[in-house]
Amino acid sequence: MKFEDTYFSREDRYSLGVETTSGRNYASIPVSNGIVDYEEYYEITPEQFDAFSTDRDAAIAFIESCRRHEQDDLLIQKPGSNRGTPV
């Protein structure tokens, strides 16, 4: 899988982009498990991608729900046993 960010918010710590192999859109957040820092990628619809690209409040609401693990069913890559916490 190759994740290509098309938008990044340093202030709100998330990015939007496209997984280039499948063409799926995603939103990602940085996480850390104490050993390694990495990103969790959540699949979003093209409509969500468009909305989040122009509506910061909608994007933040979704990202915060990801940080609370409420969107885990949308994870593109499932975390291992030593899952990180959002940073």
- Structure confidence by residue, pLDDT tens digits, 35-86: 999 999 999 999 999 999 999 999 999 999 999 999 999 999 998 888 989 9
CA separation (Å) from 44 to 7, 31, 32, 47, 72? 14, 19, 22, 8, 12
Partners of 28 in the β-ladder: 15, 41
Check if the beta carbon of residue 73 is closer than 8 Å to that of residue 40: no
* Predicted TM-score (pTM) of this structure: 0.94
